[in-house]
Structure 1
């Protein structure tokens, strides 16, 4: 039988301890339609959001608008630090009363224990714009056709921090949930992301879970040099800095 353990964290305390800063938000009441319409996602958060939506971020439609949901599947210290870094970026969009939720369960097949933690923002029109880009009418996440106009080096850094993993001195980006045509679109976008400085050499690999993109070893140093400044210190291992 599966065993589920639910743990509720005091978000204000957790952020203060891990991020070493006080957490405050002015959103502590039910907002009117007019108040919700005043929220906007500006630079550089819009670039970061694009990268997160290619990775572990999700947008859920509720009451005609959308909210951003982000989770971390590991409660190790460096993953928690990164999780709260993401939360800190989105805290102006989160209700003051919200408490982070963590779930742990034991896989009855492997006997391994798995954990996750997540937060959800308020439901706001500014997130609906991005949901219309990244979801089809069947509510399935997709790659926008204009992703080449949306993805930036900063966005790539957050995509890598979510879904990147080193392999044979190159780097895999897990794109398992996207179709082959969408992965081709992402590959083409990556190849040209840093032009005219350099062309990213990458290829598509067919894994048992689906398709994934592999950035070749000869491009890793150049990519690293262009995104290093955007990487969270606890995620630097994903680009193997020298």
Structure 2
């Protein structure tokens, strides 16, 4: 049997639960609808690495709502949907995007060709603006001058899965949208960060280039990125 002080203490606990619970649910309701300007991070290293790795490939940044926030858009062709689902799972489990799974849709490609793609976007964050400002000048994507500071093993693995192409016993990156100077920054970062040797080659089109990883650097490259490569993308590493 409880004495009076114990009963009073129990009463206070029950009263507190009754008062706090509605406030808690209301708080959750509001957090899900925060404006981008109030989403300020901070963001962990893996989030930054995946964003930077994706921006080296197909990923795109988008500054929205009069510049108060930035979101990132990810898309892949239908044959690489497992990779996109991997990215979506990572971001959604950390609360960076809608948990609804991406669906495969069609879009009109070059020369009227129909393409099947899947895509998703992060929520808008004001604390993503610095990344957008590093990568974009007048809405055109460029490689940041200090890319070596952000090219981690995870970022490199994402870049490979996003935009790497197997070439015999080696690998190339389809850096067509980047300038020659951008490509120079990238091969310098590969060498400085990982001792990976690479060269720039012309695609045959004016001002379009690709980065070719030297065959003798493939063993080192595989050791560095293998822990992060999903099974469906391991074919790119032979």
Q: TM-score of the superposition, structure 2-length normalised? A: 0.78
Match of 2:172 in 1: 172
Match of 1:70 in 2: 74
Q: Distance in 2 between matches of 1:213 and 1:149?
A: 19
- Give the conservation status (yes or no) of the 8 Å contact 2:36–2:125: no
Q: Distance in 2 between matches of 1:237 and 1:148?
A: 26
Match of 1:214 in 2: 212
Relative to structure 1, is the Cα distance of residues 27 and 122 closer, same or farther in structure 2, using a 3 angstrom cutoff?
farther
Unpaired runs of 5+ residues, structure 1, are 1-24
Equivalent in 91, 94, 97 of residue 94 of structure 1: 97
| Greater fraction helix | 2
Deviations 1:166-222 (A, max 9, x none): 11311101111011111111111112222xxxx322111100351010001111011
Based on CA coordinates, which of the two structures has the bigger radius of gyration? 2
Equivalent in 42, 45, 51 of residue 43 of structure 1: 45
Relative to structure 1, is the Cα distance of residues 150 and 109 closer, same or farther in structure 2, using a 3 angstrom cutoff?
closer
Equivalent in 194, 204, 209 of residue 200 of structure 2: 204
Relative to structure 1, is the Cα distance of residues 29 and 141 closer, same or farther in structure 2, using a 3 angstrom cutoff?
same
Q: Distance in 2 between matches of 1:86 and 1:107?
A: 24
SS in 1 for 2:45: coil
Q: Distance in 2 between matches of 1:158 and 1:89?
A: 12
- Give the conservation status (yes or no) of the 8 Å contact 1:27–1:95: no
Larger relative contact order (C-alpha < 8 A, sep ≥ 6)? 1
Q: Distance in 2 between matches of 1:57 and 1:108?
A: 19
SS in 2 for 1:123: coil
- Give the conservation status (yes or no) of the 8 Å contact 2:88–2:101: no
Unpaired runs of 5+ residues, structure 2, are 1-27
**Superposed, which structure 2 residues align to 1:62-211 within 5 Å?**
62-63=64-65, 64=67, 65-73=69-77, 75-76=78-79, 79-91=80-92, 92-95=95-98, 100=102, 102-105=104-107, 113-136=114-137, 138-194=138-194, 199-209=195-205, 210-211=208-209
Deviations 1:54-89 (A, max 9, x none): 11111101012110100012x23xx22211110111
- Give the conservation status (yes or no) of the 8 Å contact 2:38–2:126: no
SS in 2 for 1:193: helix
Q: Distance in 1 between matches of 2:53 and 2:110?
A: 34
Q: Distance in 1 between matches of 2:71 and 2:128?
A: 6
Q: TM-score of the superposition, structure 1-length normalised? A: 0.77
* Deviation of the 1:148 alpha carbon: 1.1
Match of 2:33 in 1: 30
